[in-house]
């Protein structure tokens, strides 16, 4: 009991020693929340509100070309109870952290799937989307950083970020048709009268850097989204020179800066994408090329080459990869 009493006394002394507690000073960057109700739906932002206090903000305290926490202290959190398009990008209901990438030429607004962290902890591989905000100059200086949500219609609104002489605006609108974010698809080729079919999901770039960020280098990737990507062959085939007996498989891959390794696993496809290297049937090095135009969303496709064989292609963003496929 004595130790507990001493601990309470120590805590009280520390609190009493805090400058704000002694002098009744205001917190430099108080926490605040803003809400907007659209019909029966709610969108909200919780953030810290730093003040100018005589400092240069844009290009100074908020540096150009660096990701900013868009507030102070804990990361800024955006919560929506409805599916919507936000800055023209599909966003499903949920909680996200809100970041920005300011520059003299424009602002990128970032929604990230990591939540609950301090504002210095940002992981770009968890970005849901990046998109442009509309930048305007304020006629009057805004002393304290302010986020506002304003309705523009029964199911639409605009988010405004205001500080110093800058306002960044992002429109949003309720949208019940954004799911799924990564729709399912399939591709197939017939070889010697036998079908080869790949079923996969197609994630979108949504303004994000893909290779080395959303898809990390030198790590096993599910080669799509959601459930595992599956390959089903009605007959025996060769892919990239490796023999693949008829059957059902899961496709994984290991991207790197200058290579792309396709993994064919003996695990049946269409399940959760849990990878076990003990189930590897083959690892195939695919040819890497620069895409002539951006590939978005992610795509897997076959191309016929002559009368008996073809190529298997995987592409996203500025790259695509290929390997020959033929009946065995």
31/129 same-domain check? yes
170/187 same-domain check? no
Whether 28 contacts 51, CB under 8 Å? yes
**Burial letters for 258-293: b for 16+ Cβ neighbours within 10 Å, e otherwise?**
eebbbbbbebebeeebebeeebebbebebebeeeee
Nearest to 186 by CA among 195, 199, 201: 199
- Does 202 map to a domain? yes
Pairing status of strand 41-48 against strand 106-112: unpaired
Omega within 30 of 0 (cis) for the link into 232? no
37/163 same-domain check? yes
The H-or-E segment that residue 178 falls in is none
Long-range contacts of 187-193 (CB under 8 A, 24+ apart): 187/300, 187/301, 187/302, 188/302, 189/302, 189/304, 189/310, 189/325, 191/235, 191/237, 191/308, 191/309, 191/310, 191/325, 191/326, 191/327, 192/235, 192/308, 192/327, 193/235
CA atoms 84, 87, 91, 96: torsion sign:
negative
How far, in Å, CA of 195 to CA of 24, rounded?
76
- Does 305 map to a domain? yes
Please count the structural domains in the chain.
2
Q: Residue with structure tokens 């496809």?
A: 269
The H-or-E segment that residue 176 falls in is none
160/214 same-domain check? no
54/168 same-domain check? yes
189/314 same-domain check? yes
How is residue 328 annotated by DSSP? -
The H-or-E segment that residue 7 falls in is helix 2-17
119/238 same-domain check? no
| pLDDT value, residue 24 | 59
Which of 149, 174, 199 is the last residue before a domain boundary? 174
The boundaries of the domain holding residue 320 are 183-327
Burial of 17 (0-12, 13-18, 19+ CB in 10 A): exposed
How many of the other CB atoms lie within 10 Å of CB of 120?
A: 9
- pTM attached to this predicted model: 0.82
Per-residue pLDDT tens over the stretch 90-146? 999 999 999 999 999 999 999 999 999 999 999 999 999 999 999 999 999 999 999
- Does 15 map to a domain? no
Residues of the chain with pLDDT under 50: 1-22
How far, in Å, CA of 241 to CA of 243, rounded?
7
Bridge partners, residue 262, by sequence: 253, 284
Contacts of 9 (CB under 8 A, 6+ apart): none
Residue 39 Cα distances to 94, 154, 155, angstroms: 18, 6, 7
How far, in Å, CA of 325 to CA of 328, rounded?
9
33/115 same-domain check? yes
Which of 155, 174, 193 is the last residue before a domain boundary? 174
Which of 124, 155, 174 is the last residue before a domain boundary? 174
């Amino acid at each position: 009991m004595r130790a507990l009493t001493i601990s309470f006394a120590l805590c009280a002394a520390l609190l009493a020693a805090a400058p704000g507690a002694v002098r009744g000073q205001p917190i430099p960057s108080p926490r605040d929340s803003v809400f907007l109700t659209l019909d029966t739906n709610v969108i909200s932002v919780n953030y810290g509100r730093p003040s100018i206090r005589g400092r240069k903000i844009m290009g100074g305290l908020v540096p150009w070309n660096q990701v900013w926490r868009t507030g102070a202290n804990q990361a800024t959190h955006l919560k929506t109870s409805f599916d919507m398009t936000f800055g023209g990008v599909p966003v499903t209901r949920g909680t996200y952290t809100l970041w920005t990438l300011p520059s003299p030429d424009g602002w990128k607004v970032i929604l990230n799937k990591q939540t609950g962290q301090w504002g210095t902890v940002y992981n770009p591989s968890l970005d849901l989307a990046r998109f442009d905000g509309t930048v305007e100059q304020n006629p009057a200086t805004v002393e304290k950083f302010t986020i506002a949500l304003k309705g523009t219609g029964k199911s639409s609104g605009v988010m405004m970020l205001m500080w110093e002489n800058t306002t960044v605006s992002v429109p949003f609108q309720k949208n019940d048709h954004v799911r799924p974010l990564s729709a399912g698809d399939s591709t197939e080729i017939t070889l010697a009268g036998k079908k080869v079919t790949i079923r996969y999901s197609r994630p979108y770039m949504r303004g994000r850097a893909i290779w080395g960020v959303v898809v990390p280098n030198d790590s096993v990737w599910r080669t799509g989204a959601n459930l595992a990507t599956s390959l089903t062959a009605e007959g025996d085939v060769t892919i990239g020179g490796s023999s693949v007996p008829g059957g059902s498989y899961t496709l994984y891959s290991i991207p790197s800066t200058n290579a792309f390794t396709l993994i064919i696993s003996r695990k049946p496809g269409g399940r959760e994408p849990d990878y076990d290297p003990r189930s590897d049937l083959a690892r195939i090095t695919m040819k890497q090329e620069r895409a002539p135009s951006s590939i978005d969303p992610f795509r897997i496709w076959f191309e016929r080459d002559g009368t008996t064989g073809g190529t298997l292609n995987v592409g996203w963003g500025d790259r695509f990869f290929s390997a020959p496929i033929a009946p065995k």
